[in-house]
Amino acid sequence: MSTQPRPTAHPTAHTDLMAAPAPVSAITAASVPVVSAGSARVSHYEQLGGLARVQALVESFYAQMDQRPEARVIRAMHPADLGPVKAVLVSYLCEWLGGPRDYSAQRGHPRLRMRHQPFAIGDAERDAWLNCMQAALLATEVPPGLRQALMQAFSKTADHLRNRAAGHPVSSTLPRTDHD
């Protein structure tokens, strides 16, 4: 048993899906609950199985994006080499799920809405992203209860990132950046 103090969850990590909506300044617009196992709180990061399982989830997610016809439009928003994008998503998800706080330490506040503003995200793009993530959660055998909680949180975040109405192109003065 380790004698080192256990790291605490990121101060902006969300702990309750049923709580009032998180402020936009929080790490994500959605809440990710932490559940109790006996008297100890267990993060979704721990429930999922840690870094290796988050990496497997991200690999499966991008494989889904490459395979699904309805995901072509969101795949086209990414560079051909997904390596750096995958690394960022792994780091972000680890922190968002209550794991290591490397994302914010290295990249600062996620500013998800701002970072996604250059990309036209409507209902079809949101749904394609969510379908890829749902399939990845199934493919990596995430337990049903955790899968449902994560999909609820992902859905809230994906809704928050929409920046165009159906049939209307995005109008943005922000330059396109490498996909953060």
pLDDT in tens, 76-121: 999 999 999 999 999 999 999 999 999 999 998 989 999 999 999 9
pTM: 0.72
Domains within the chain, CATH numbers bracketed: 49-161 (1.10.490.10)
- Separation between Cα atoms, residue 156 and residue 152, nearest integer Å: 6
pLDDT in tens, 132-161: 999 999 999 999 999 999 999 999 999 999
pLDDT at residue 47 tops 70: yes
- Separation between Cα atoms, residue 50 and residue 55, nearest integer Å: 9
Report residue 1's pLDDT band, with 50, 70 and 90 as the boundaries. very low
pLDDT at residue 16 tops 80: no
Contact between 41 and 98 (Cβ < 8 Å): no
Residue with the two structure tokens 């809230």 = 156
- Overall residue count recorded for the chain in this entry: 180
Name the strand (E) or helix (H) holding 7.
none
Report residue 41's pLDDT band, with 50, 70 and 90 as the boundaries. confident
Please, what is the average pLDDT of the chain? 78
Contact between 135 and 3 (Cβ < 8 Å): no
Contact between 110 and 95 (Cβ < 8 Å): no
Task: Note the pLDDT of residue 15.
Answer: 29
Report residue 27's pLDDT band, with 50, 70 and 90 as the boundaries. very low
Residue with the two structure tokens 């300044």 = 25
